[in-house]
Structure 1
């Protein structure tokens, strides 16, 4: 009997890249023919939004998953261009598509983060792919689309990107347009920032409050008691699951003055 060999892990070294995921909301409600058409339309809209932004989609390392595309963008991709013009063009194309008569409406959730990525046997591994998978499925992002029924696109960026890129004001990115959300999905926890093109921060903030509150982690699974900006159990991201373990966060602050060592 012929032995079936298992996939060999990639020898690629980890590197820092911008990661992006776009997911179709309530995809399973469409029939097979419509799902196939939506997948083609999603690729076309991403291609056109990237071209108008000056981004080379041919250089993206894409990992399609049916109703979702995950992508690792090339080194030196301007992060502000992705968060600004690319999101704008995607929202416009999506709105134009949904305005066509007799078309079934498509709504999208999008997540963006930057961090360590490594090529792996079944796609990509590292904190950034895992974080993007969690952000795009965050209850708050889903609650925003469920509440703001006129919205076609909801975007969540990581706290890291918000602090480093959005708050710098590059490409007219306005920090006031983003609403912070505490995301806890599976073994991931951290802060993300939500923006909905065409809607005010007040609208988004009201919608975020409709999301279920994150449940506290069991004591055995909880990270350090030190407040963290983000933590994630790192491992191989296969589809939307993760295995392995590593905690990532802010440096541990020094102990208060006068406190002795704990025995």
Structure 2
């Protein structure tokens, strides 16, 4: 028998839902503002008093026509290569490292863990990093983006904690049946840790998508540039044009420069926003499982 709610409980539910809807609108509105502004007409947008914007001021695709160039298509292709290839390499290294550090009885487990944790707080700096990449012969190659920053220490520690939560008896039973460590990893541990795997996969993919500094440091050929480098060039070019323009349409150029920035934000974040809902259900459980102290 379902117990009926009293008046106080119903009022609380209504207030709670209203508050959550208000918070949702506050969180969503900044992105909607960016989308509306990116589709606005430059002349009408300049007349806007920069208060709340609930729809585009006019309609224009000028900003997107400036953003979507042949270089941008090349950047999208390269970024997809870096995201897919780099994430695959990162996940593979994370799996192997987390598996070794999560196994009980491994003699070098604690020293190796401390050595890895040391890298989270201390690094050699940018100049030694550049010289290292140069000595490896990775300058102006895709390997300069895919390999040097492939492993994130924090992600590996989270994955290690998740792997350690898998019952050791399952691993022992599999090894008694002749399973190797690789078989135990990919057929037992990873399927049982899919929530954490999904979260770490998202972390690596987002980091790869937004990455631009290694490309700016190590790449020279434009055909290797990722999307973020081309978007950065578009932003700098549009800002420079608006600054040097002293004619009567200076205000329109300034408005167009601002809308190009908004269009750039939409273009660079939309793919991640499309992917995120598919792994969102694993996000909370994955972080909680991987964040519990061993």
Q: TM-score range by the shorter chain?
A: under 0.3
Instruction: Please say which structure displays the higher CA radius of gyration.
Output: 2
Question: Which structure shows the bigger proportion of residues in strand conformation?
Answer: 1
The answer to which structure, 1 or 2, has the higher relative contact order (CA under 8 A, 6+ apart) is 2
Per the normalisation by structure 2, the TM-score is 0.22
TM (norm. structure 1) is 0.24
Identify the structure with the greater helix proportion: 2
